[in-house]
Amino acid sequence: MCKELRPDTAVPALSQAQDALLKLSILARLIGAKSVLEIGTLGGYSAICFAEAGAEVTRIEINPKHQEVARESVEGLDVEVILGAALEVLPKLSEEGRQFDIVFIDADFDDQWEHFDWAVKLTRPNGCVFLDDVDSDSIITKIGKDDRVTATLVPIVATHPMIPIPHILSFVVGSE
């Protein structure tokens, strides 16, 4: 489960620890996720985990180098890779009527609230939104006050050599 990425990818170290992503893969299987939207892809590891869990994955990546590595890493899996800025791509996905069982946000933290807002709009009823690196009280407070969702902080704590302290990987949101 969750195959290894090639070490010669020339992208920064994975932003999520392998063990934490295995947990997301298990959660995807438990809810029977058939479609996943990933905002921010880096090397593509989380998309591999979701695809291997049986989901069709749509990924948005702004960095062409990361997009190319991500495309190579998911070869043979049911993954669509879109190059572009998330805040430009997300409205287009909405206009197309796309809906997802899971939306995984691991992108520009300055736009995390805007990504979350679009994620809720693009998530099917009773779907889940996962946010990576939730350490901002403001985003937690905003989500907690959002009547569109039932939110739960799930402390999937991960460690990584590039990150000096363990961090909370996900904030799980069920859209209503």
d(CA 122, CA 118): 6
Nearest Cα to Cα of residue 38 among 173, 146, 160, 129: 129
Residue 81 lies in a domain: yes
Reported confidence tier of residue 117, pLDDT bands at 50, 70, 90:
very high
Cα-based torsion angle of the residue sequence 116, 119, 121, 122 in order, rounded to the nearest 10 degrees: 180
pLDDT higher for 101 or 2? Answer: 101
Residue 10 lies in a domain: no
Residue 22 lies in a domain: yes
Judged against a pLDDT cut of 80, whether residue 169 lies above it is answered with no
Judged against a pLDDT cut of 70, whether residue 172 lies above it is answered with no
Range of the domain at 27: 18-175
Structure confidence at residue 112 (pLDDT): 87
pTM of the model: 0.80
- Across 19-23, 161-165, 166-170, the highest mean pLDDT is recorded for 19-23
Reported confidence tier of residue 130, pLDDT bands at 50, 70, 90:
confident
The CATH number linked to 116 is 3.40.50.150
Judged against a pLDDT cut of 70, whether residue 1 lies above it is answered with no
Residue 2 lies in a domain: no
Total domains, the chain: 1
pLDDT higher for 134 or 60? Answer: 60
Residue 9 lies in a domain: no
Judged against a pLDDT cut of 80, whether residue 107 lies above it is answered with yes
Residue 111 lies in a domain: yes
Residue 23 lies in a domain: yes
Residue 7 lies in a domain: no
